[in-house]
Structures are given as C-alpha cells and as structure tokens.
Amino acid sequence: MALLEVEDLCIDYKTKSGYLKAVDGVSFTLEKGESLGFVGESGCGKTTIGLGLMGMLPPNGVVRKGRILFEGEDLLRMSAEEMRQVRWRKIAMIFQAAMNALNPVQRVGEQVAEAMLVHNPSLGKHKALKAVEELFELVGLQTDRIRDYPHQYSGGMKQRAIIAMALACRPALIIADEPTTALDVIVQDQILAEIRALQKEFNIGIIFISHDISIVADMCHDIGIMYAGQLVEYGPREDVFDSPAHPYTRALLSSFPTLTGKKTDLVPIAGETPDLVHPPKGCRFYDRCPEQIPLCREKVSQWVALSPRHKALCCRCEMDGR
C-alpha cells in the first residue's frame, strides 16, 4: 500500500469574483520513504496541495472533490478530531519561512517540547525535554543551545529547530514547503543534506514544494510540474529533466539560468498565467505555449503516458506520440 495516494484532488478558494480553482484534478502517489517534488511558479497551487493534505486550508478554501488516502484511509472523510490525531503525529509540515514563526519569548527547546506534549501529553515535560535533546543532535544543533531564545539563533539554526519540531512525533510523511527559501546557499546545502539523511534514517516520505527547480531536482525521486492549478507533467526526475515533454516544463527549464552551457540560451516565457476563476476551456498554457495549435484551445488536455511512469498533460504530446 502506498503511503499517500491522492486522486483527482480539486481545491477551490471562494473569492469575491467566484470560485478560484487553485488545485484542479491533481493525482499522485507517494511510497514510503520516497520523495516527491512539486515545482511551479507562484499561484500554481503547490502550497495549496500541502495545506489540503494537512487539512489546514484557510477558511475560504474548499475541497471540491477528490480523495486523499493516507495509509489507506481517506483524510477527507475524517472528523476534525480524527484529523487532529493524524496531523503532526503522522503528517508534519515545514512551512515557508517557518523560522520566523518561533515564539520570540520562549526558549527554543521548550517550543520543540511543546509540539511533542500537545500530541502526547502523557510523556511529561521532563521526558519531552530529554527527547528534544536527541532531536537537537539529529538535526545538527548543539544541545547546549536548547535553553537559548530564538534571537540567539542564526537563520539556519532556527530552520533546523523547525525541522526538529516537524520530526518531534516521528511522522511518516513530511511536507516541506520551500524549507530553505530564506536561507543562504551554503546553509541551504547543509539543511538539505540534513533532510536527506533524516529521510533515509527514518524512512520518511517527503513532499517537497519549491519554485526552485534545481533544489527539487537535487532532492526528489519523482517530480510533478504544476501550472495554473494542474499537474502538467509527472515522472521520475531523470525523465522529467532529461526529456521534458510538456512545453511548459521545457519553457521553465530554458528560462532558468544555469552555470554551464551557452549564455544566450535563456528564454523567458511570454505572457501571464490565466485567470483561475474562469480558467480557459482547453489547455491552460495555451496562450503562452510556443507549440500551440488551434485544437489546444478547444480540447481538454488528456494525460499521455510517455513511459510507464512518465506522463504529460498535453494535446501535442498526444498527437506527436512523444
């Protein structure tokens, strides 16, 4: 049984001008101990997926349809109380810029212990603090800093503390939403290495959300490329990056500056993302697609299997059989 199986997930946000289709028909599976990365630009729905999985959508967010099977149980059918049992204990999330969410007037160690005690009150404060010590060692923080306050920590250390907090209940799945965005390259590298090691050690499934292709490529077995609320390409990272099929994936890759190759290769994607309150009937990338044909505007794009595990949502791919 897969750790996580998401089927046809649709999430809307209620806005003044109507329902905004932030996530539309997203399906994927994640095995135990594997990692899956979602890449896309702002507003593509990647963070919404994370919040949806945690059952933490903002008040105007509604799951319109779909199933989220976690260890075989549908999270969407759970009561609030049942969901509370799953959240953090089994599925934890590292939020974007979470390091700024640490309480400035509480010692870091106590905050990590608190995360543990909330979900496991019988543990007792003394034991919890003992466990925090282990967690600190795990994430590479010195244990003599447990009694420090957040302002005494550097950005990287705070982020490590947040990771410790996510690990506090030994979850089976961690959702990491841009966990290193606010950090410097060298610190980022260290944190990513840490996450990779912990994942291996505890066999944790990880969903990695980022706009930075290079990080996701470095971290994840499988990659999902998202555009305007839809998954548009999905597969093992080698397939997606070495033989990208969807025009958006290709455009995204060629707009990203790299350290090698010809300098003149950077090609921006013209235009803007479509309005998701009234999404286009056909392909959502139609307006910006360099390979558009009239059919794409009318026809709802279908998934095309390119190899057993690599697929793309594109009319052209379907026609060309690539």
Partner 1 sequence: MMENRGNAIIEIQNVSKVYRSRGALFGLRAKDVVALRQVSLKIYKGEIFGLVGESGSGKTTVGRLIVGLEEITSGDIFLDQENVTGLKGKAMKAFRRKVQMIFQDPYQSLNPQRSVLDTVTEPLAIHRIGRSSDRKEMVHKALKAVGLSPPEIFFYRYPHRLSGGQRQRVAIARAMVLNPEFVIADEPTSMLDASISAQIFNILLKMRGTFDVTQMFITHSLAAARYLCDRVAVIYRGKVMEVGSGETIIHNPKHPYTQALIDALPKFRSSGAIQRYGTLLTEERQVDLEQVGCPFYPRCAVADETRCGRETPELILLDEGHYVACFQL
Is 218 in contact with 239 (CB distance < 8 Å)? Answer: no
Instruction: Name the minimum Å distance from CB 216 to partner 1.
Output: 9
226 binds partner 1 (CB under 8 A): no
Instruction: Name the minimum Å distance from CB 263 to partner 1.
Output: 6
256 binds partner 1 (CB under 8 A): yes
185 binds partner 1 (CB under 8 A): yes
Bridge partners (DSSP) of residue 7 are 67
**Strands 222-227 and 205-210, how do they pair?**
unpaired
Q: Distance between CA 220 and CA 179 in Å, rounded?
A: 14
User: Restricting to residues 135-154, which ones interact with partner 1 according to CB under 8 A?
Assistant: none
DSSP state of 87: B
321 binds partner 1 (CB under 8 A): no
19 binds partner 1 (CB under 8 A): no
Instruction: Name the minimum Å distance from CB 16 to partner 1.
Output: 14
104 binds partner 1 (CB under 8 A): no
258 binds partner 1 (CB under 8 A): yes
Task: Report how far apart, in Å, the C-alpha atoms of 81 and of each of 7, 52, 78, 115, 296 are.
Answer: 23, 16, 8, 17, 45
Return the number of the residue (197 or 270) whose C-beta is nearest partner 1: 270
Is 176 in contact with 207 (CB distance < 8 Å)? Answer: yes
Q: Which stretch binds partner 1 (CB under 8 A): 6-14, 46-54, 215-223, 295-303?
A: 215-223
Could you write out the DSSP letters of every residue in 157-183?
HHHHHHHHHHHTT--SEEEEESTTTTS
Instruction: Name the minimum Å distance from CB 184 to partner 1.
Output: 4
Task: Report how far apart, in Å, the C-alpha atoms of 211 and of each of 1, 45, 159 are.
Answer: 30, 11, 18
Report how many residues bind partner 1 under the rule CB under 8 A.
Answer: 34
**Strands 61-70 and 4-15, how do they pair?**
antiparallel
Say how far residue 233 (Cα) sits from the centre of its chain: 15
Ordered alpha helix ranges (H), 93-143: 108-119, 125-138
188 binds partner 1 (CB under 8 A): yes
Q: Which stretch binds partner 1 (CB under 8 A): 10-18, 21-29, 106-114, 261-269?
A: 261-269
Q: Using the rule CB under 8 A, which residue among 80, 126, 259, 321 binds partner 1? A: 259
Q: Distance between CA 166 and CA 175 in Å, rounded?
A: 9
- Tokens 């139609």: give the residue: 286
User: Restricting to residues 277-306, which ones interact with partner 1 according to CB under 8 A?
Assistant: none
Return the number of the residue (126 or 262) whose C-beta is nearest partner 1: 262
Task: Report how far apart, in Å, the C-alpha atoms of 65 and of each of 61, 147, 284 are.
Answer: 12, 46, 20
- Tokens 């959300």: give the residue: 209
Q: Using the rule CB under 8 A, which residue among 85, 100, 203, 214 binds partner 1? A: 214
Q: Using the rule CB under 8 A, which residue among 59, 104, 268, 294 binds partner 1? A: 268
Instruction: Name the minimum Å distance from CB 137 to partner 1.
Output: 15
**Strands 35-39 and 205-210, how do they pair?**
parallel
Q: Which stretch binds partner 1 (CB under 8 A): 24-32, 162-170, 264-272, 307-315?
A: 264-272
17 binds partner 1 (CB under 8 A): no
Site residues (vs partner 1, CB under 8 A): 41-42, 184-186, 188-189, 192, 211-215, 217-218, 241-242, 251-253, 255-261, 263, 266-270, 272
